[in-house]
Copies of this chain bind each other. A is one copy, B any other.
Amino acid sequence: MQDKWIVGVDLGGTTTKLAFINMDGDIIHKWEIKTDNSDEGKNITINIAKSIDQKLEEVEMTKHKLVGIGMGAPGPVNYDTGVILNAVNLGWRDSFPLRDLLETETSLPVYIDNDANCAALGEMWKGAGNGAKDLVCVTLGTGIGGGVIINGEIVKGVNGAGGEIGHITAIPIGGSQCNCGKKGCIETIASATGIVRQANEELLKEGACGELKEILHQSGAITAKDVMDCVSNRDPLAEKVMENVSFYLGFVLAGIANTLNPEKIVLGVVFQEPGKYC
């Protein structure tokens, strides 16, 4: 058992990242494939199964080397059925039976969870959590994901919606429209989308100038990474946006800290460049 490998799969809307991991959690091989969202997602699990077989062949191993698959899915997961809910937003058919399809295609046992929960477990095991058993992990990307670990276990919540930190209201009166239907969620402020929106609002104001304005002139649009880069260069407009982001993110995280008194809060930022997790 000790010399076996686990397959780790991070299923994203655009890219699927895969890895063979040993029982100590060290990455032995890692690679990625494009996520094929066509035909209501029916090729997703077929492609993952094929890719695992190809990689095994490439590294001259057989399937006996593998004990199973652990997968992070981009949405809330029903733990009993292994179904990913709200998958229709990704172009897949709704209530997508991800676990069963992948088990059929690969003949391996599959465990799935929400990707932010997987990030929290990963940070606890091998990352910035560094052994902490009471840990909150927040991932800032296009949206904001969250995973809460208490006594070493993910807080799933009564409906599997534990850790939905992105939809904590940060601005109770007013606030911008969120994809969830509410207004003023922290996701509307501290996600890549929120940062770009606020920067664009500032850039539209009379007298707006500086490095970020230059980038807008040159490329016609700005990204959250542009805003972060401009902060490094002390661009006042970018600094104003990121001060607002930091203020409200701190406000929300402080509330979580008061509720749970966690040992660590781990922030993961994935803006713009896929694969760069800083």
A256-B168 Cα distance, complex, nearest whole Å:
8
Name A157's contact: one of B158, B172, B260 (CB within 8 Å).
B260
| Residue of chain B at shortest CB distance from A251 | B172
Cβ A247 vs Cβ B162 within 8 A: no
Specify which chain B residues have a CB less than 8 angstroms from the CB of A168 in the assembled complex.
Answer: 254-255, 258-259
Name A165's contact: one of B155, B169, B259 (CB within 8 Å).
B259
Q: Is A82 an interface residue (CB 8 A)?
A: no
Cβ B169 vs Cβ A255 within 8 A: yes
Interface hits, A147-174 → B, CB 8 Å: 148, 150-151, 153, 155-165, 167-169, 172
Name A169's contact: one of B150, B254, B262 (CB within 8 Å).
B254
Interface hits, A128-153 → B, CB 8 Å: 132, 134, 146, 148, 150-151, 153
Q: How many residues belonging to A are interface residues under a CB distance threshold of 8 Å? A: 35
Cβ A260 vs Cβ B162 within 8 A: yes
Specify which chain B residues have a CB less than 8 angstroms from the CB of A254 in the assembled complex.
Answer: 168-169
Specify which chain B residues have a CB less than 8 angstroms from the CB of A162 in the assembled complex.
Answer: 259-261
A104-B164 Cα distance, complex, nearest whole Å:
47
Q: Min CB distance, A184 to chain B, in Å?
A: 10
Q: Is A263 an interface residue (CB 8 A)?
A: yes
Name A155's contact: one of B132, B150, B255 (CB within 8 Å).
B150
Taking Cβ atoms with an 8 Å cutoff, the residues of A that contact B are: 132, 134, 146, 148, 150-151, 153, 155-165, 167-169, 172, 247-248, 251-252, 254-256, 258-263
Cβ A261 vs Cβ B161 within 8 A: yes
A-B contact pairs, 10 of them (CB 8 A): A150-B151, A162-B260, A164-B259, A165-B258, A168-B254, A169-B258, A252-B255, A255-B256, A256-B259, A259-B260
A251-B173 Cα distance, complex, nearest whole Å:
10
Specify which chain B residues have a CB less than 8 angstroms from the CB of A153 in the assembled complex.
Answer: 151
Q: Min CB distance, A262 to chain B, in Å?
A: 7
A199-B148 Cα distance, complex, nearest whole Å:
38
Cβ A260 vs Cβ B167 within 8 A: no
Cβ A262 vs Cβ B150 within 8 A: no
Specify which chain B residues have a CB less than 8 angstroms from the CB of A132 in the assembled complex.
Answer: 158
Cβ A164 vs Cβ B251 within 8 A: no
Specify which chain B residues have a CB less than 8 angstroms from the CB of A146 in the assembled complex.
Answer: 259
